[in-house]
Amino acid sequence: MTYLYFPGCSLKSTGRAYEESVLEVSRALSMPLTELEDWNCCGATAYMSISELKAFALSARNFALAERQAGNGEVDMVVPCAACYLGLNKAKRYLNEHPEIRSKVDEALHAAGLEYKGSIRLRHPLDVFVNDIGLKNIAELAVKPLEGMRVACYYGCQILRPYADFDDAHEPTTMEKLMQALGAETVDWPLKTRCCGGSLIGTVPEVGLRLSYILLKEAKRRGADVLATACPLCQFNLECYQDKMKDMFGENIGLPVVYFTQLMGKAFGLPDNRLGLQRVFVPLVSPKRAKAEVGGVHVSE
């Protein structure tokens, strides 16, 4: 079994901290990730909304490269970015289920001297860590358990919808189990797969910001010290716009928003600067600090 790492554009830019922490944590778990060579755009949102076929072809090129790089063995492509994970997953399913799309894509790949055999498996690191490595092995590495830290696990809308490959689409628990294995407490909250606002923060900010604010507000009301995400866009929206939310809703949320992999690294005792934690706007306070204040104002949907 080979794990090939597909970064996608975000993990090389705004989501740098996600890449840094995923790679560090994988190394600590003795499953170092090899980056897919010569990868290209996953084909996500922008392409998909203009030309599906081109989006599928972009995805398929990555699949073909991965199969080639892996040789003959089975290959698991590890995709941390939620948008890439969904886009690639969609492409893989369409290529499997629609021969007319497959033949066109095959033709395009052929022109580039490539071939997609169809053996690729797409995995989110959350799935790989919990289901391949196992909670027991992870817990053993947690030399600095996250005791006293209350985590709101946030999955976002993409990694389990519409393809609920490794957990329930609406009530997932994988990340909670992981955080508990690391010694943290998890917050029971019903918004863990609700939309963060996505691109609306850039296009219709009054709607997008409210969606983000609803999530942060509710997490805080339920006593979370930190919100853990699995998606670079969610992390960006939820953390970097907190000052704008303050202007809009008159409240300073001040809730740290980090990648779940950063919390893993923290529990493994890895230094902050190797986990990208020096890049955050809302600093992650030590787990032992006083509990967050529960309560606060309501906001309309």
Partner 1 sequence: MSANRISPNGPPKVGVYICHCGINIAGKVNIAETVEFAGKLPFVTVAREYKFMCSDPGQDLIQQDIRDGKVNRVVVASCSPLMHEGTFRRAMSKADGNPFLFQMANIREHVSWVTSAKEPATVKAKALIAAAVRRVTLHQPLERKSVPVKPDVLIVGGGISGIQAALTLADSGKKVFLVEREPTIGGHMAKFDKTFPTLDCAACILTPKMSSVRAHPNITLWTYSEVIGVEGYVGNFKVKVKRKPRYVIEELCVGCLECIEACIYKKGRVDDEFNVGLSKRKPIYIPFPQATPLVAIIDKESCLEFKHNRCKKFCVDSCERKAIDLNQKEEIKEIDVGAIILATGFKTFDAKRISRYGYRKYPNVYSSLEIERMVNASGPTGGEVKLKDGNAPKAVGIVHCVGSRDNKTNRYCSRVCCMYSLKLAHLIKERTGAEVYNFYIDMRTPGKGYEEFYERLLEENVHFIRGRVAEVTDWAMTPQEEGRLIIRAEDTLVGTVRRIPVDMVVLSVGLEAQPDADDVRRLFNISCSAEGWFLERHPKLAPVSTFTEGVFLAGACQGPKDIPDCVAQAGAAAAEAMALIDRGHVELEPNTAFIVEELCSGCKTCIAMCPYSAISFVTEKKTAAINGALCKGCGTCVAACPSGALQQNLFTDEQIFDEIKGVLTYV
What residue ranges bind partner 1 (CB under 8 A)?
168-171, 189-191, 214, 218, 298-301
Minimum distance from CB of 213 to partner 1 (Å)?
Answer: 12
Of residues 28 and 191, the one with the C-beta less far from partner 1: 191
Q: Which two tokens stand for residue 26?
A: 């994988």
Helix (H, G, I), strand (E, B) or coil at 2: strand
Minimum distance from CB of 225 to partner 1 (Å)?
Answer: 19
Ramachandran sector of residue 189 (left: φ over 0; alpha: ψ -120 to 50; beta: rest): beta
Q: Which two tokens stand for residue 251?
A: 């409240």
Of residues 35 and 168, the one with the C-beta less far from partner 1: 168
* Amino acid, res. 188: D
Of residues 1 and 164, the one with the C-beta less far from partner 1: 164
Minimum distance from CB of 193 to partner 1 (Å)?
Answer: 9
Of residues 98 and 170, the one with the C-beta less far from partner 1: 170
Minimum distance from CB of 172 to partner 1 (Å)?
Answer: 9
User: How far, in Å, CA of 221 to CA of 301, rounded?
Assistant: 16
On whether the CB atoms of residues 149 and 185 are closer than 8 A, the answer is: yes
Minimum distance from CB of 26 to partner 1 (Å)?
Answer: 30
User: How far, in Å, CA of 23 to CA of 35, rounded?
Assistant: 10
Minimum distance from CB of 297 to partner 1 (Å)?
Answer: 9
Of residues 33 and 152, the one with the C-beta less far from partner 1: 152
What's the N-to-C CA distance of the chain in angstroms?
46
Exposed / middle / buried, residue 187 (Cβ in 10 Å: 0-12, 13-18, 19+): buried
Of residues 30 and 300, the one with the C-beta less far from partner 1: 300
What secondary structure does DSSP assign to 29-81, as a single string? TT-PPEEPTT-----THHHHHH-HHHHHHHHHHHHHHHHHHHTTS-EEEE--S
Ramachandran sector of residue 69 (left: φ over 0; alpha: ψ -120 to 50; beta: rest): alpha
Of residues 24 and 218, the one with the C-beta less far from partner 1: 218
Of residues 110 and 170, the one with the C-beta less far from partner 1: 170
Ramachandran sector of residue 249 (left: φ over 0; alpha: ψ -120 to 50; beta: rest): alpha
Minimum distance from CB of 194 to partner 1 (Å)?
Answer: 9
φ, ψ of residue 204 to 5 degrees: the values are: -125, 75
Minimum distance from CB of 159 to partner 1 (Å)?
Answer: 16
